[in-house]
């Protein structure tokens, strides 16, 4: 048991945890993005509220939320810990070090990008998840479902929140650009025959997912979705 704990407390173990939780969160983003994208049906939120109702009442989804939050917290904790440990290990920079030669700037800034996303998550969870799961949404749509769509419309009337969401999605895109391929590499799921495909798919995934999420608050603020 001690050796198992030591394995996961080592540098490699921590990166392994980051890879596993990162892939889990990547899969979650696909589901979350699909449900939220139902607002683009533009039917007054009826279809979206049906999807949100399914997500909120299905026991498999609800059980997955527990795993999701555990994985998310673990991912954040390990990410911050790795960042601090890397900074501590090199308190004095080398006389000359060309970081651009070996990595992209966002690969070297995962701690900063992750911190920006953490701030966004706190706002997002307080605005939507807490309301839908605990405090309750006072209005209902024509099908009797909680009108989460109406809450989104009201929330995204605030331009500062819209700007925060867009900036957070920019951070998410860069975070995923590094994290997607890195997760596969950390878990050993890489091969010179498939690395190009994984990297290419990761780039498209990062861009498309982030653009869809960013487009939602912007479209609502501009009144394109009603």
- Does the predicted model carry a pTM greater than 0.85? no
CA distance 210 to 30: 11
Domains of the chain, by residue range, sit at: 2-221
**Block residue for tokens 């699909």:** 34
Q: What CATH number labels 2-221?
A: 1.20.1300.10
pLDDT by position in tens, the chain (length 226) = 444 444 445 566 666 776 777 777 888 888 889 999 999 999 999 999 999 888 878 777 777 777 776 766 776 676 666 666 666 665 554 444 444 545 555 555 556 677 777 788 888 888 887 777 666 676 777 777 888 899 899 999 999 999 999 988 988 888 888 777 777 777 676 667 777 888 888 899 999 999 999 999 999 999 999 7
Q: Look at residue 162 in the predicted model and tell me its pLDDT.
A: 94
Q: Look at residue 56 in the predicted model and tell me its pLDDT.
A: 77
| Exposure class string for 114-141: b at 16+ Cβ within 10 A, else e | bbbbeebeeebeebbeebbeeeebeeeb
Q: Look at residue 59 in the predicted model and tell me its pLDDT.
A: 76
């Amino acid at each position: 048991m001690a050796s198992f704990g030591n394995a996961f407390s080592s540098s490699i173990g921590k990166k392994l945890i980051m890879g596993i939780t990162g892939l889990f969160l990547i899969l979650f983003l696909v589901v979350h993005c699909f449900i939220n994208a139902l607002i683009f049906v533009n039917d007054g939120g009826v279809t979206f509220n049906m999807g949100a109702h399914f997500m909120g009442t299905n026991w498999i989804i609800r059980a997955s939320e527990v795993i999701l939050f555990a994985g998310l917290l673990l991912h954040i904790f390990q990410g911050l810990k790795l960042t601090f440990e890397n900074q501590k290990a090199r308190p004095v920079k080398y006389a000359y070090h060309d970081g651009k030669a070996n990595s992209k700037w966002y690969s070297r800034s995962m701690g900063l990008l992750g911190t920006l996303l953490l701030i966004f998550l706190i706002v997002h969870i307080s605005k939507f998840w807490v309301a839908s799961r605990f405090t309750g949404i006072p209005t209902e749509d024509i099908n009797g479902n909680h009108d989460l769509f109406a809450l989104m419309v009201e929330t995204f009337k605030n331009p500062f929140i819209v700007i925060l969401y867009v900036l957070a999605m920019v951070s998410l895109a860069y975070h995923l650009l590094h994290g997607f391929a890195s997760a596969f590499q950390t878990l050993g799921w890489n091969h010179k025959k498939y690395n190009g495909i994984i990297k290419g798919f990761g780039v498209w995934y990062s861009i498309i997912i982030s653009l869809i999420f960013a487009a939602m608050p912007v479209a609502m603020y501009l009144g394109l979705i009603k």
